[in-house]
Structure 1
């Protein structure tokens, strides 16, 4: 479904009203930097203003205190604390080329301009689910005119935060140390506002969707974790990542990966050795692989300079 931002004027609720409404839905919320906030030359209007993993709450007094202090703050929802799975269906930024991937068949149905909702619909139909019923849940249109679909997630099941279709279909729930978070209706980023598209009851997560996003068994452990193609011993780097504190986890992983690249270890070996310790300290697979890619790119550029 292709969406447009509304052009007709509507009565605009204050951000604190949106925050209270979210809390009344039993969403555990926290303040996020306001739309267009720039820090160190980059936009941070999706970044929390507090230690959200612990701070997210439904306590109205705390919420009022936060938004009186910062009336234009965006509203973040902790999916883990709220017992939610939120499926983020993004829109295409360019024609997506899935040829040679397990999702190539999606192009056969929808052509080159595939968006996240196309993907989710195609997957649901492929497993025999009723797409119309699947969509009958609370939905929020995002600033980029994608859509968030909200479902109740069974807390006893651990979810992955890996993208079912990278770049188009993401999930936020209880994966990782604190789970994931999304912006609530009423928020706005530089791309546009987040608006409730369907204020429906949040339905239980369909079984097929649980199976799609639940945490998969980790790959078999490497029997000799220090065997690799380079000459170094990486136990110290592995321990550095394993002992990293929150706020330093990405930096520690980035530094360790650059050291391994400089030592001659392949990116594949680096991912094999650093993924487990990075998971232990709470990074998602998406964050881990992205950080390692960035580290190898930076180190390679340094070598070539």
Structure 2
């Protein structure tokens, strides 16, 4: 494990405590932007009742460890002295944070591209015109304007736009579903907090963001982020079947032979979560994996790994 300078962890803890005080649940992150604490269940097979999300009382459950309690935050960082940053859990009260992640092309410099609130005006950031233009096009087509809100600049030159979603509405994580270069972090995901230091550099607030809180997500944009649930067809005996858009993924798993069952299941689960219907497809994927000969607890553990990966840092 790489040696981390003590002051890096101290600074990360200070930023994390400040965020927690403002109502943002936090976890410590390693320089790779992944949760700093490993799962306490990594060497033990599952019980078959689904992945543990912290019910065991031990740390190491990724975003499920996120807390606003100062004592708990200190305990998490004490257990991870190599942490150099912190993650903020999305979708949690009181802010119900939603993150819009605009990816970048390192060789592209477009400060000034995207005249409009939150789309680059005055932010002095190099962002790929594809992601900025795509978000502009969505705003134009669906008649919304991004409000003044928190924007975090990433080491690669991109930006995270913070918005607040309404209570009771679940925004799924997605990668490129809205448009190429635009990722979304919602329930079960997390954003790297400003002040964090990763292997690629530091995350910082954009000029004008200090003192702001996440603005409410425009309703038209929220509708794009929360697509309606697809119609499900009744299976044998009236059992509710899999979502129509997941049929091909389930068939892909069913076609697996010995030696490729886990790989196919993991790939299919990743694609499902990336497209926003992972949770709805879990039981169908588990059923398919079990029919190929995979143990249920192993199938659920594999799907849980896919969920964690696709809900990873933005």
Normalising TM by the smaller chain, what interval?
0.5 to 0.7
Go from structure 1 to structure 2 and tell me whether the alpha carbon gap of 1:278 and 1:67 turns closer, same or farther (over 3 Å shift).
same
Aligned equivalents of 1:124 and 1:217: distance in 2? 23
User: Per-residue CA shift, 1:116-167, capped at 9, x if unaligned?
Assistant: 233222211222223xxx1410111112111111111113122232333455
User: Per-residue CA shift, 1:165-216, capped at 9, x if unaligned?
Assistant: 4551011112xxxx21111111122222111111222211110111010043
Unaligned runs of at least 5 residues, structure 1 = 1-12, 36-43, 96-112, 227-233, 241-250, 260-270, 292-305
Partner of 1:59: 69
The number of residues matched between the two structures is 213
**In the TM superposition, what are the counterparts of 1:202-241 in structure 2 within 5 Å?**
202-221=214-233
Determine whether 1:147 maps to 2:151.
no
Partner of 1:277: 284
Go from structure 1 to structure 2 and tell me whether the alpha carbon gap of 1:66 and 1:153 turns closer, same or farther (over 3 Å shift).
same
RMSD of aligned residue pairs (Cα, Å): 4.1
Go from structure 1 to structure 2 and tell me whether the alpha carbon gap of 1:129 and 1:256 turns closer, same or farther (over 3 Å shift).
closer
**In the TM superposition, what are the counterparts of 1:123-142 in structure 2 within 5 Å?**
123-130=138-145, 134-142=146-154
Unaligned runs of at least 5 residues, structure 2 = 1-9, 38-59, 109-127, 243-249, 269-277, 288-299
Partner of 2:191: 182
Aligned equivalents of 2:138 and 2:263: distance in 1? 34
SS in 1 for 2:17: helix
- The answer on whether the counterparts of 1:92 and 1:115 sit within 8 Å (CA) in structure 2 is no
Aligned equivalents of 2:70 and 2:201: distance in 1? 27
- The answer on whether the counterparts of 2:97 and 2:214 sit within 8 Å (CA) in structure 1 is no
Partner of 1:192: 201
Partner of 1:173: 186
- The answer on whether the counterparts of 1:140 and 1:149 sit within 8 Å (CA) in structure 2 is yes
Deviation at 1:219, TM superposition (A): 4.9
Partner of 1:159: 171
Partner of 1:75: 86
Go from structure 1 to structure 2 and tell me whether the alpha carbon gap of 1:283 and 1:219 turns closer, same or farther (over 3 Å shift).
farther
Go from structure 1 to structure 2 and tell me whether the alpha carbon gap of 1:258 and 1:24 turns closer, same or farther (over 3 Å shift).
closer
Aligned equivalents of 1:202 and 1:277: distance in 2? 36
Determine whether 1:86 maps to 2:99.
yes
Question: What's the TM-score once normalised by structure 2's chain length?
Answer: 0.56
Question: What's the TM-score once normalised by structure 1's chain length?
Answer: 0.57
User: Per-residue CA shift, 1:74-132, capped at 9, x if unaligned?
Assistant: 2011102241111111113689xxxxxxxxxxxxxxxxx534233222211222223xx
Partner of 1:114: 129
Go from structure 1 to structure 2 and tell me whether the alpha carbon gap of 1:258 and 1:54 turns closer, same or farther (over 3 Å shift).
closer
